[in-house]
Structure 1
């Protein structure tokens, strides 16, 4: 089982925690991670793009000139796609890009993402993460104590508005809960900061 130092918000070691081998020490499957990230990004797309076909643009009801005898190419409408102001061929219309992955693939991707953070020494486990005021400055001090210099994802076991709002103005820092944790956010951040209770919940869910 992988062992990781247990820290407090001052950055001091207060113990060690053993992580589940099945979840935090799994073999990293790059292809499954790719599928999970692609699925997440596809589901974020709004799909609101729209353009008009030749049936929807204004005008073009009259044939611009007679069929034969002018020396020009035959035309039936001034709103055909080749005309300026004409309709778009195969015009995009609002649609949903959402699709779902099999549950086994989702679980495997999550285990691979979590294991990659342990392997890269990008995981920081805290005994608890509590704040009693909305203070961005205090959050910056905590991150400095934990030697967090790059993008960081803070994972909580339960919502704490003081933590969430204190971190919201810090560039590159994102907060989330265990039940909304996703593979994209884990891979998109360099540091994975998680509370001890959140680790236990993750192990319960993905055991």
Structure 2
């Protein structure tokens, strides 16, 4: 914009703009900026971390491998029966691919989280007390 007053002659300091951070209503000196906190992890390290996390859960006795996790009725009562057989705390359920009825059955259970094989990571496994995983998922991780 236009200079608020002339450069010379007034005896006062030089003003380039009223939007300067030195003036009331002016700009902010070092304003907030978005920051990306993502860090790249090597593929081999990611796989290794996943294997360590699965082994740690298996050693604790908190890893349960089943042939398939399907709730045909889509009833939460049936899904709750499966979860209660395992434990009373939080459960991570890993399936090969989502089935609508299974998702509907498990979605309203507290501390129960259903994910697909593609979403599986070491943090998810470490964060949950018990892991219920399909045999097909385990076979694909080993291969």
Give me the TM-score of the superposition, normalised by structure 1.
Answer: 0.57
Q: Structure 2 residue aligned with 1:200, among 126, 130, 139?
A: 139
Return the alpha-carbon distance in structure 2 between the equivalents of residues 85 and 168 of structure 1: 50
* Number of corresponding residues: 141
Q: What pairs with 1:103-182 in structure 2 (closer than 5 Å)?
A: 103-147=43-87, 149-182=88-121
- Structure 1: tracts of 5 or more residues without a match: 1-60
For residues 75 and 116 of structure 1, do their structure 2 counterparts lie closer, same or farther at Cα, with a shift above 3 Å needed? farther
Return the alpha-carbon distance in structure 2 between the equivalents of residues 89 and 98 of structure 1: 27
Shift in Å, 1:137 = 2.2
The residue aligned with 2:17 is: 77
For residues 84 and 145 of structure 1, do their structure 2 counterparts lie closer, same or farther at Cα, with a shift above 3 Å needed? farther
The residue aligned with 1:23 is: none
Return the alpha-carbon distance in structure 2 between the equivalents of residues 168 and 152 of structure 1: 12
Whether the aligned pair in 2 keeps the contact of 1:157 and 1:201 (CA below 8 Å) is no
Deviations 1:106-153 (A, max 9, x none): 111111221221233321222432211221222122211222x22221
Whether the aligned pair in 2 keeps the contact of 1:178 and 1:201 (CA below 8 Å) is no
Return the alpha-carbon distance in structure 2 between the equivalents of residues 136 and 101 of structure 1: 38
Residue aligned with 1:163, SS = helix
Residue aligned with 1:187, SS = helix
- Structure 2: tracts of 5 or more residues without a match: none
Shift in Å, 1:176 = 1.5
Return the alpha-carbon distance in structure 2 between the equivalents of residues 98 and 69 of structure 1: 52
For residues 82 and 191 of structure 1, do their structure 2 counterparts lie closer, same or farther at Cα, with a shift above 3 Å needed? farther
Deviations 1:52-89 (A, max 9, x none): xxxxxxxxx2434455524xx54321212343443344
The residue aligned with 1:28 is: none
Pair 1:185-2:124 in alignment: yes
For residues 77 and 102 of structure 1, do their structure 2 counterparts lie closer, same or farther at Cα, with a shift above 3 Å needed? same
